[in-house]
Structure 1
Amino acid sequence: MKKSHRKRDFVLLIAGILIISIVILYFLSWSSALLKMDKAIDGEVRPVRYEGKHYRYNEDLINILCLGIDHSNALDQEVLPGDRGQSDAIFLISLNAKTRQMKILNIPRDLMMPINIYDSKGNFFTKRTMQLTLQYAYGNDGDDSCKKTAGLISTLLLDIPIHRYCAVNFNAVPVLNDAVGGVTLQMDSEHVDVELQKLSPMFAPGNTVHLMGERCFEYLHVRDIHTYASCEERAERQKVYIKEYIEAVKKKAKEDPRLLFKLYSILDENMTTDIGKLELLSLPFYLDELDFEASIISIEGKRIQGEIHEEFYANDEELERLVVETFYTLSDE
């Protein structure tokens, strides 16, 4: 049971790791025009009318799907459809090529929607309403799994295009942390999860801690499952970690221009992506220009306990509002 909780709770951590180790690895080194020529998912985006006003899709946006996979094997290993693992962390990162701002949409893994089911030969079999996390399992290979998941997410978000994708398994997380020399941050001054404090006195309220290896893992995952809303407290810790990890990468990259290539190499064995390594070449000149004050946004809805697993049902009205506000702009017409 504990292992299951630990895997499922990588959510905000994966966002931080992927934002730094993948998304910024390529965004600024390619023009938006080039990126738009070769999309993972084209989408069929169209103008919308919302609350009496006309909106069009914001063409300045570059959307990258980031997945955290709960599979310990190599992501390119040959397996039967249905056995490739699940996407326990699902994020769509949207970068504005004009303003250099970034928004991160956290998509619940348990979001219920029609999933495409395939047989053992990879042929389409049927559709079934299931958790979104399961779609990744039905790809013929890692790239196909990413594209199938990206297709569903595009459909969910009014058919917006998705330009790039990456999937990383969880083996890479502690290594990526240590590659930047670890992360220094301050514990909450008033409250720290009881279970976390039991592991080490360094996690006492108000302490300044330097996270390396297993301590990083503990900080990001441990919580008292018997305490109400402990997952929210942990989520706040993870947000702090993301911010400080970003700063650690920026600082380390100035000292070592090869850092980003090292991070990419670490990820290489644990990653499936259509982001090319050569796209890193001009990045060091732009790191300081990117606005890292990322806005993490979530889909509102209702979570219930299904017969076996939790099920999340999006609030359709709120989802439409979120999509329009995030991916659209007022039309001149």
Structure 2
Amino acid sequence: MSKQTNKEDINKKLEETIDSYWDDKKKDKNPDFDGFREEEIKPAPKEKKPFNIKKLLLIILIIVVAFVAAIVITILAMEHIGKKDLLNSNSANTEITGADGAELENDGKIVVYNGKKYVYNESNISMLFMGVDREEFNEGSTYQEGGQADSLFLMVIDTSTGESKMVPISRYTMVPIDEYHEDGSYWRQNEIQVLLAYTYGDGREKSCENTTTAISRLLYGMPISGYVAIDLSGIGVLNDAIGGVTVEVMEDLTEADSELYLGNTVTLMGQQAETYVRSRKSEGTDLEVDNNAPRVERQVQYLNAFLSQTLSQMKTSPTLPLKLYNLAEDYTITDVSASETLYLMTTMASGGLESEVVTIPSTAKRGEYTEVYVDEDALYEVILDVFYTEVE
């Protein structure tokens, strides 16, 4: 017999001896015990741990922090993308030119004028805002049937400081615009009122592009980074989205609304906001020449108040620009993205709550229609002030 077999026999006898020993022990304590039945073998109940409120609060806090961090990261990413896109864009297909006597270098980025040297501010972003005299934008409008640009404002933002300048442009300003036939084919360039640049388009993007080009042409080819056109229906919607806009009434408009009397402080809501920025009066010699001028002053006041309230609310609601952007989609035509809008508004919020208003010196004349002619020399001084920086 081998050693392996002997070892197995010994182990087997040892196991039998141990089992016999424990059986005897169990019977000594309970002679009737014959082992546990399977159904009697149950695991001991687990001890319930006390509810840990601190742990729950910690988990909730982690989730909230992660959510906020995700929002912040998204906002920062959108701002970065928006800045990059805007600084590289130019919606106006024009080249920089200069006034008589101006010497231009580096494609107009350097100007010597009246013995002074100026350098174009590459941090500038300019946006053209248009108010269109239509309740809504019509899909597939034919050329010359898309309405007019009733209001025009150029907003220039210095992204290095956040400071902004608002340049109102009279709708009657005479400027060379591109005219198109009803089928969209090019006709000619003609000096007429700038509000008609929108008319010579499709009532949508083409109209906006034509107007943007006309304004850039008026401003010696200054780049325009983007445009926003809003229809009449959108005024009250955006106005109410920030809780209304508070103004001191600048002109008696009680014929249109009893609350809009001179000097009254009112928070404009809904239709009332549209009434305040749209109404025109035609009484008096000056108004017969240009009844749009007082309205432009009210529009400037309203826009500055709207911006001020929006930028102020962004302190507690940093995503407000995105909310307004989404809300405005049904009422606007624009080539500005959501990320670009967020970047611009955030940048402006860092530079103050109001925009400096810069007026273009001009003269109004009345013929068959009102015509406004800019003072070219004074206009060029405005351009150098807004778009350039004087250097030694």
Question: For this structure pair, what is the TM-score category when the shorter chain's length is used for normalisation?
Answer: 0.7 to 0.9
Q: Which moved more, 1:154-163 or 1:90-99?
A: 154-163
Query: d(CA) in 2 for partners of 1:53 and 1:286?
Result: 30
Distance change in 2, residues 1:295/1:72 (3 Å): same
What do you get for the CA RMSD once the two structures are aligned? 3.1
Are the structure 2 counterparts of residues 322 and 185 from structure 1 closer, same or farther at C-alpha, using a change threshold of 3 Å?
closer
1:297 maps to a residue whose letter is V
Q: Does 2:125 correspond to 1:67?
A: no
Q: Tell me which residue corresponds to 2:337.
A: 276
**Aligned-pair identity (%):** 30
Q: Deviations over 1:233-291 (max 9, x none)?
A: 66555444334333432454455555333322332112111111244566786664132
8 Å CA contact 1:32–1:62 kept in 2: the answer is no
Go from structure 1 to structure 2 and tell me whether the alpha carbon gap of 1:27 and 1:324 turns closer, same or farther (over 3 Å shift). Answer: farther
* In the alignment, structure 1 residue 314 sits paired with structure 2 residue 374: yes
Q: CA deviation at 1:106?
A: 1.1
What letter matches 2:215 in structure 1?
I
SS in 2 for 1:292: coil
Choose the corresponding residue for 1:36, options 87, 91, 101: 87
Aligned partner of 1:209 among 242, 257, 266:
266
- Report the Cα distance in structure 1 between the residues aligned to 2:315 and 2:353, rounded to whole angstroms: 16
For the 8 Å contact 2:82–2:341, the answer to whether it is kept is no
Report whether the alignment pairs 1:57 with 2:120: yes
TM-score scaled by structure 1? 0.77
What amino acid does structure 2 have at the position aligned with 1:86? Q
Q: Deviations over 1:160-191 (max 9, x none)?
A: 11111111112111111111111334457xxx
Q: Is residue 254 of structure 2 the alignment partner of residue 196 of structure 1?
A: yes
Q: Which has the higher contact order (CA 8 A, sep 6+)?
A: 1
Are residues 100 and 50 of structure 1, via their aligned partners in 2, closer, same or farther at CA, if it must alter by over 3 Å? same
Q: Deviations over 1:268-323 (max 9, x none)?
A: 1121111112445667866641323311122212111122x111111111111111
What whole-Å deviation, never above 9, does each CA across 1:213-238 have from its counterpart, x for those lacking one? 23333444456543566866665554
Task: Confirm or deny that 1:264 pairs with 2:325.
Answer: yes
Partner of 1:294 in structure 2?
A: 355
Pairs within 5 Å for 1:92-107: 92-107=154-169
| Shift of residue 207, structure 1, vs aligned partner | 4.7
Structure 1: distance between partners of 2:221 and 2:281: 39
User: Which sections of structure 2, spanning at least 5 residues, go unmatched?
Assistant: 1-76, 97-107
Give 1:73 shift. Answer: 3.3
Contact 1:196 1:218 in 2 (8 A): no
- Secondary structure of residue in 2 paired with 1:66: strand
Counterparts of 1:1-333 in structure 2, within 5 Å, are: 30=81, 32-41=83-92, 43-45=94-96, 46=108, 47-75=110-138, 77-140=139-202, 142-186=204-248, 193=252, 195-196=253-254, 199-200=257-258, 202-203=259-260, 207-222=264-279, 225-226=282-283, 237-254=298-315, 256=317, 258-279=319-340, 288-307=349-368, 309-331=369-391
Q: What's the offset of the Cα at 1:158?
A: 1.8
Structure 1 residues 54 and 292 mapped into 2: Cα distance closer, same or farther (>3 Å)? same
Q: TM-score, normalised by structure 2?
A: 0.67
Instruction: From the CA coordinates, give the structure whose radius of gyration is larger.
Output: 2
AA aligned opposite 2:386: T
Match of 1:6 in 2: none
**Number of residues paired by the alignment?**
300
Alpha-carbon shift at residue 114 of structure 1 (Å): 2.1
**What is the CA-CA distance between 1:87 and the residue it aligns to?**
0.9
